Structure 1
Amino acid sequence: MTGVHEGQRSTESHPRRAPRRALLTRLLPRRDARTAGERRAPSPARRRLGRLQWRLTLAYTLITLAGVGALSWLVIRTDARSWQSAEYEELHRRAAVAVSLIYYTDAGIQLDGLYDDEATSAGAQVIVLQAHGGRLRRLFTSHGPGTAVEAGAVDRIAHRAMTHDDTVSARARTGAGDPVYLLALPYYQDQSQKTAGAVVVVGDPGKGRAEHRRLVVAVLSGSGLLVLLSAATGYVLSGRSMRPAWEALDAQERLLADAAHELRTPVAVMRGSVDIADTDPGGLHSHLPRLRRATDRMTDVVDNILTRGRLQATDTFRPVPLRLDQLVEQVCEELPVSRHTVTTFLDASVATADPALVRIAVRNLLANALRHGRTPGDPQDRAEVDVMVRGTAVTVADRGAGVDPEELPGLLERFRSEGGGTGIGLSLVREVAAAHGGEVTVRRRPGGGSAFVLALGPLQRSAGHRRAPRPS
C-alpha cells in the first residue's frame, strides 16, 4: 500500500523569539555533561556488591586454608612419626646384631665379633655395658662417628633396659644441645640366662631431620600456592555467581540514567517556557505549542524508558505472529500533523515479534528521520520520508544529509545524538532488533539521504502479494 501523510506548520520568525531562544539554550542541559556523570565514582550499591564479592572470596579462602592446613599438619606429623619409627627400627637392628655377636667362654665375655661387623663399625655408635658390682662399665665402643651424649644418659637407659628386661628407647642431647636417639637392648649370660648388661645404640637424627625439613618446606610451599590459587578461583567464581546481580544493578542504573537524561531536556523546555511566560503574561497563549511539544516529548521519553525496562526484563518479552505492514501503517497514521511528508510502501507480511516493542522501534526510526532527514535547500525545511515493509524488514528512508555506514555503531550508542534528540532512540531500536534476533543497518540512498533498515529475523509468513494502494 502507498499512502501520504502531510500537514503544515507555521515557520515564521518573530523578533521577540531571539532572547527566548537564548534563555532556553541556557536552561537546556549540555550534551557533554553526561560524560562527567558517567565517569563519576562507583555508586554505593556497586561498592556493596564489590565488598560482598571480596567477603565471599575471603570466606572461600579461609575454608580452603583450614582444610589445606589440617591436611598439611597431618602429612607433616605422619612423616615425622614414620621417620622416627624408621630411625628406631634401624637402631634396634644394630642393637640386635650386636647382642647376637656377644658370647661367653670360660675366659668370660667375648666381643671380638663386634669389631668386624658392619652394624657396629659404621653409622650409629654402639656401646656395650656390663653390670659389675652394682655399676655399669663400658666394654666396647664402636669406631663409628662418636657422639658426646650428656653425662649419665647412656647409663640410665641401659639400667632401665636391664631392669625391665626389654628394649627401651629414649631421647637425649649432646653436650652442644643437639638431639640424639638412644636405644638399649639387654643381653644375657649364656649359662645362667641372667641379664649381664645392655647394648646401647646412639643415633644421630640429623640426616632424617633434614629430609623431614625438606618435606615440610615442600608441603607448606605447595599449601601456600594452593591457597593462593583457591583465592583467585574463589574471586572468579564469586564474580560469576554475582554476575546476575551485577547485570541487574547495571540495568537499573542504565534505566535511571536514561530517565534522568531523557526527562531533563523536556523539563528544561517547559520550565523555560513558564519562565518566559512569567515575564510576559499577555503572551502565555503563544507558549502553549511549545509546552504541548514538550509534554509530547515527555510521553515519548516515558514510552522509551518503559520499553528499555521491558527489554531488560526478558520474562516480559512476548513475541506473537502479527501483520507487520498493518502495525507500521498504524504508527504512521499516529504521527502528529506537521509540515513533513511520509510515504508508505507496504507489502503484506506476517512476522513473529513483540508488537509493543516493534511499535516503539518504528516510531523512533520515524522520529529520527523527521528530525534529521530534512531535505537540503527546502525553503520550508521539510522532511520527505519513505517507509517500506518487505518481509520482516522495515526500512525508513529520508532525503537528508545522509549517514555513513561506518558511523552507525556510534549512532546506536546510548546518549549519542547529533542534536535535537534525546540520544536513546536509535540505541533502543538496536536493542529491539537484537531481542528479535535481527539487526539495524544503514545505507546511503541514491540522490542523497539515508535508509535505516530494521530486520526482525526470518520471515514467518508472507501473503505473497502487495496490498492494493489506498489512502492511509
Structure 2
Amino acid sequence: MRPLTPSGRVRRLRRRITALFALTSAVGLVTMAVLAVRSDDTRWREQLDRSMNLGTTQAISLLTYDAEDRLDTRDLVETVDAGCPPLTVFSVPRDGSSGPVVDFAPERPCLTARPADVRAAAEDAVRREDVVAVDRRAVDGRPVRLFAEPFFAPDAEGADGRDGAVVTVYETTAPLAEHRRTAWLLTGGCAVLVLLSAAVGHVLSGRAIRPALTVLAQQESFLADAAHDLRTPVASLRTLAETALRGDTDSADVLRRTMRLADGMGGLVDGLLTRARLMSGVQSLAPEPLRLDQLVETVVADTPAEGHRVTVRTEETVVVADPELVRRAVANLLGNALAHGHDPGVPADVRIEVTRDGTVTVEDAGPGLPPGVADALFERFRSGSGSTGLGLSIASWVAHAHGGSLSAGRAEHAGGARFVLRLPAGPARQ
C-alpha cells in the first residue's frame, strides 16, 4: 500500500473527526431516545394502572362479609354492570390448600383473558399482600394488562380463612400502538440528527483543516520548486568540479563559471524564499505612496545591462504600494526581458514606459511569446529555457496582492514580448 502524503493524512484525519463527531452525537442521541422510550412506556403503564386501581378499589368497597364471615358479593352485583364488567373476584385460602375460587365473574365478558393468567395474578397479589400488574395476552391474542388488588377477610373466630383479590382486565392495543409510534418517531429523529451532525462535523472539520491543507500545499510547492530549480545548477557545479580535478580546462575559467553559477543559485534561492514568504503570508504588504517612475529608473540603473540597450520613458506617477515588492516585480520583468527578449548573439533592446495611471510596460525585441502561452506564463516553470519561471510568478503575485494585474502579449513596436504591470494609482500631486 502506498504511503499517504501529508495532505492525504490530513484528509484522513478529517474523515476520522467527522466519524467521531457523528459517533459522539449518535451515542448521545440514542441514549436520550432510549431513556425517552422507556419513560414513555413506564408513563402510560402507570397511568393505566392508576385508572384500573380506581376500579378495583371501588369493587372492594362493595364487598361485604355475612354473619359467618363469608364473602358477600350481592352489593357488587347490584352496582356494576353484571353483563360485561372487566372484573373478576377470587377467594384464596390462606393455608394454600387449594387454588383461587371465583366468587364473581361477568356473564358475558367483553374481553376474555386466559383463566390461568387471571388466577395467577390474583394468587400473586394475595401472596404479596400488594397490587400486581402484568402484561398478558387475551384468548384471541390481543394484548391485555391484568391488575389485581388483594382484600383480606376478618380474623374473627370461626372465619373460613379465605382472603381474596379483585382482578380487572384492560386491552392495551391502542396504548401500545401509540407507544410504538412515539418510538419510531424518536428513532427517525435520531437518524436525521445523526446525519445532520455528520454533515455539520464534515463541514466544520473541513474548515478547521483548510489552513493546514493550504500550508501543506505551499510547503509541497516550495519543496518541488527547490528540488526542480536547484537540481540543474548543483549538477553544473559538480561537473565543473570534476572538470577542474581532471585538469581539462583553465582553472580561471572554471572559477568564473563557478561564480556565475553561485550568483545564479543565490538569486534562485532568494526567489524561492520570497515566493514561499509571499504564498504563506509571512511577508505582508506595507503599502505607502511612492513615486513609481523614480523606482523604475532606480531599478534600471541598478540592473547590469551587459551590452544590452534599455530605454526608459516615464511620467511622474504616484502609486500606493509596497516599495520593496514593487521593486522586485519590476526587476523580475526587466530581468526576464534581458534574458529572453533577444535572439542568441544579438543584444537585447528593451523599452520601459511608466504612465500616470500606474502602468509599467516592458517591451523587448525578441522572438515574442508562443501562441496560447500568455495565460499560463505566470505559473512557475513557464518562463522559458534556462529560467525557473519564478520571476514572472512573483511579479504576478505582487500585482494581484496590490489589487492590480500583470498581462502579457505581443509588443506593438519591436514585435517581441510585452508585459504590462498595473498598480492602483495614488493621490495626484498638487
TM-score by length of 1: 0.73
Shift of 1:382: 2.8
SS at match of 1:265: helix
Q: Distance in 2 between matches of 1:73 and 1:108?
A: 46
User: Which stretch of the first structure deviates more once superposed, 323-332 or 143-152?
Assistant: 143-152
Task: For structure 1, list consecutive stretches of 5 or more residues without a partner in the other structure.
Answer: 1-39, 190-194, 465-472
Q: Distance in 2 between matches of 1:175 and 1:181?
A: 9
**1:170 matched to 2:138:** no
- Is residue 341–residue 367 contact of structure 2 (8 Å, CA) maintained in 1? yes
1:128 to 89, 107, 130: 89
SS at match of 2:315: strand
Q: Distance in 2 between matches of 1:431 and 1:250?
A: 17
**1:386 matched to 2:347:** no
Q: Distance in 1 between matches of 2:380 and 2:273?
A: 15
- Is residue 289–residue 320 contact of structure 2 (8 Å, CA) maintained in 1? yes
Change (3 A) 1:209 1:260: same
1:232-311 pair list within 5 angstroms: 232-311=199-278
1:74-223 pair list within 5 angstroms: 74-92=35-53, 94-95=55-56, 109=74, 111=77, 114-115=80-81, 120=84, 125-129=86-90, 136-141=101-106, 142-150=108-116, 152-157=119-124, 159=126, 168-171=131-134, 173=136, 180-185=144-149, 198-223=165-190
SS at match of 2:145: strand
Task: Give 2:22's aligned residue.
Answer: 61
Q: Distance in 1 between matches of 2:73 and 2:241?
A: 131
User: Which stretch of the first structure deviates more once superposed, 240-249 or 89-98?
Assistant: 89-98
2:307 to 339, 345, 355: 339
Deviations 1:20-50 (A, max 9, x none): xxxxxxxxxxxxxxxxxxxx9753x434433
Deviations 1:167-201 (A, max 9, x none): x2321645999975322357899xxxxx9965311
Deviations 1:340-374 (A, max 9, x none): 22111122223222222222211221222223321
- If asked which structure has higher relative contact order (CA below 8 Å, sep 6+), I would say 1
Q: Distance in 2 between matches of 1:451 and 1:203?
A: 95
Q: Distance in 2 between matches of 1:84 and 1:215?
A: 15
Deviations 1:214-246 (A, max 9, x none): 322332232133223212321221221222222
Letter in 1 for 2:112: G
Shift of 1:108: 7.0
TM-score by length of 2: 0.80
Q: Distance in 2 between matches of 1:255 and 1:210?
A: 66
- Number of aligned residues: 406
Letter in 2 for 1:57: T
**1:329 matched to 2:297:** yes
Change (3 A) 1:405 1:393: farther
2:317 to 326, 349, 364: 349
Task: Give 2:69's aligned residue.
Answer: none
Give the % identical residues. Answer: 38
Q: Distance in 2 between matches of 1:334 and 1:323?
A: 17
- Is residue 349–residue 461 contact of structure 1 (8 Å, CA) maintained in 2? no
Shift of 1:115: 4.4
Task: Give 2:400's aligned residue.
Answer: 434
- Is residue 307–residue 360 contact of structure 1 (8 Å, CA) maintained in 2? no
Task: For structure 2, list consecutive stretches of 5 or more residues without a partner in the other structure.
Answer: 67-71, 154-161
- Is residue 171–residue 179 contact of structure 1 (8 Å, CA) maintained in 2? no
